């Protein structure tokens, strides 16, 4: 009996081994999952950038949505505009410096402007700016260097309000170069002025630096179509821990897009009216965290006359028109990325002599405008 059991045990073991091998051949082994490349934060160019997967290019998305409700004193009503903006930036280091691309898309939804009581209309999205940079080279469509430069820090634009008073804002297709050395900056650009009768573009530039904590700067622009030029000098300085002051002075040799431009009431729309001299002063104060306000003013004199009946040559400073404007602004940030803004501005155009030739029919007078803005940034 024992001999029979001894003969069965090896047979059973062999059967079990064979059966196990057969089942093992039928087992399904799961493949290793592909490695997932998560988006990585790029901190080489500031907050908000991330690497485009598989590249060394850093991408940043930003923008805002805003509602503006405004009024004008001579209109017994209000108006509203909704704007959406998306900024796309891409940066990477190269042997020639930082390679940068910037595209700004935006669109406005506005009320119906045909004098009817119908609802508003949808605005089309447009490319408001698009430019590239490689080291100091700048090319594309953006503000001219008369307005600001990419290396100019606090030297750009006008006063502390949203529109900055009248300082000759302009954008153009351009090519230029920015140079920064030991706190001193310089920028120059050749700008397409839309004049198809000449191969010569407009030229603008600025230079400045930081002295004792204040940004001091100058800018100049040549308007080849009008054969005139404008220059300005400016200062942007902090006063104590909570104050900031901006002062700018302008001179223009004639009607030019590079000056302190404005359009007096009663003169044809679409015409640029440049004062010979102008000065802007603005002070901003931070009252508390997330709450600030500013007051500003501007005086302009010697508006250049534009010929209407041939009585006066283009560029004659004989219009006798002067103007002044004052503004007040309050800005509140109740939480991060939310802005509540209120602005009020009063402008007065006056004449120092009787209406003659090109200025006949000039109305002059006061105008008060304002806006209330709600804006969500991202």
Tens-digit pLDDT profile for residues 74-102? 777 788 999 999 999 999 999 999 999 99
Q: Are 280 and 296 in contact (CB under 8 A)?
A: yes
CATH number of the domain where residue 145 is located: 2.40.160.10
The pair of three-digit structure tokens given for residue 230, joined into one six-digit string: 């404008």
pLDDT value at position 313?
43
How confident is the prediction for the chain on average, in pLDDT?
Answer: 85
Q: Distance between CA atoms of 170 and 167, rounded to whole angstroms?
A: 9
Mean pLDDT of the 153-176 span? 96
pLDDT digits (tens, 9 = 90+) for 285-308: 999 999 999 999 999 998 886 544
**Is there a domain that residue 51 lies in?**
no
**Is there a domain that residue 65 lies in?**
no
Q: Are 351 and 331 in contact (CB under 8 A)?
A: no
Residue range(s) defining the domain that contains residue 298: 136-377
**Is there a domain that residue 42 lies in?**
no
Nearest Cα neighbor of 296 from 279, 312, 309 is 279
**Is there a domain that residue 84 lies in?**
no
pLDDT value at position 8?
46
Total residue length of the chain: 378
Instruction: With a cut of 70, say whether residue 335 has pLDDT above it.
Output: yes
pLDDT value at position 308?
45
**Is there a domain that residue 85 lies in?**
no
Residue 221: how many other CB atoms lie within 10 Å: 27
Is residue 177 packed enough to be buried (19+ CB in 10 Å), middle (13-18) or exposed (0-12)?
middle
Question: What are the distances in angstroms from CA 142 to CA 49, 145, 156, 210?
Answer: 22, 9, 13, 24
**Is there a domain that residue 28 lies in?**
no
pLDDT value at position 134?
98
Pairing mode of beta strands 202-211, 243-252: unpaired
The pair of three-digit structure tokens given for residue 268, joined into one six-digit string: 């044809």
**Is there a domain that residue 215 lies in?**
yes
Q: Are 232 and 278 in contact (CB under 8 A)?
A: no
pTM metric for this prediction? 0.83
Instruction: With a cut of 50, say whether residue 9 has pLDDT above it.
Output: no
Instruction: With a cut of 90, say whether residue 19 has pLDDT above it.
Output: no
Instruction: With a cut of 70, say whether residue 232 has pLDDT above it.
Output: yes
- Tally of domains within the chain: 1
pLDDT value at position 112?
62
Mean pLDDT of the 239-247 span? 97
Q: How far is CA 112 from the centre of its chain?
A: 26
**Is there a domain that residue 204 lies in?**
yes
Most confident of 70-79, 247-256, 354-363: 247-256
pLDDT digits (tens, 9 = 90+) for 98-143: 999 999 999 998 776 555 555 666 778 899 999 999 999 999 999 9
């Amino acid at each position: 009996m024992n001999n029979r059991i001894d003969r069965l045990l090896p047979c059973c073991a062999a059967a079990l081994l064979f059966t196990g091998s057969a089942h093992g051949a039928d087992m399904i082994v799961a493949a290793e999952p592909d490695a997932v490349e998560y988006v990585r934060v790029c901190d080489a160019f500031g907050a908000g950038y991330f690497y485009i997967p598989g590249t060394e290019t850093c991408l940043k998305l930003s923008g805002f949505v805003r509602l503006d409700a405004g009024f004008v004193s001579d209109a017994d009503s209000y108006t509203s505009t909704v704007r959406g903006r998306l900024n796309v930036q891409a940066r990477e280091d190269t042997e020639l410096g930082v390679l940068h691309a910037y595209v700004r898309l935006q669109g406005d939804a506005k009320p119906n402007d045909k004098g009817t009581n119908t609802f508003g209309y949808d605005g089309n999205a447009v490319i408001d700016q698009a430019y590239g940079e490689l080291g100091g080279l700048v090319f594309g469509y953006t503000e001219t260097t008369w307005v600001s430069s990419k290396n100019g820090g606090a030297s750009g634009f006008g006063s502390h309000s949203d529109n900055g008073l009248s300082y000759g804002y302009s954008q153009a297709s351009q090519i230029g170069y920015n140079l920064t050395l030991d706190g001193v900056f310089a920028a120059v650009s050749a700008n397409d002025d839309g004049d198809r009768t000449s191969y010569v573009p407009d030229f603008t530039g600025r230079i400045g630096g930081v002295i004792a904590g204040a940004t001091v700067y100058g800018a100049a622009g040549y308007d080849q179509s009008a054969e005139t030029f404008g220059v300005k000098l400016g200062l942007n300085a902090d006063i104590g821990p909570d104050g900031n002051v901006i002062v700018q002075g302008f001179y223009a040799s004639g009607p030019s897009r590079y000056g302190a431009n404005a359009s007096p009431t009663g003169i044809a729309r679409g015409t640029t009216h440049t004062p010979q001299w102008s000065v802007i002063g603005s002070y901003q104060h931070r009252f508390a965290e997330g709450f600030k306000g500013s007051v500003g003013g501007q005086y302009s004199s010697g508006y250049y006359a534009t010929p209407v009946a041939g009585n006066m040559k283009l560029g004659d400073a004989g219009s006798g028109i002067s103007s002044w404007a004052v503004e007040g602004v309050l800005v509140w940030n109740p939480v991060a990325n939310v802005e509540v803004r209120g602005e009020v501005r009063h402008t007065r155009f006056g004449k120092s002599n009787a209406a003659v030739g090109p200025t006949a029919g000039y109305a002059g007078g006061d105008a008060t405008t304002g806006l209330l803005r709600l804006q969500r940034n991202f």
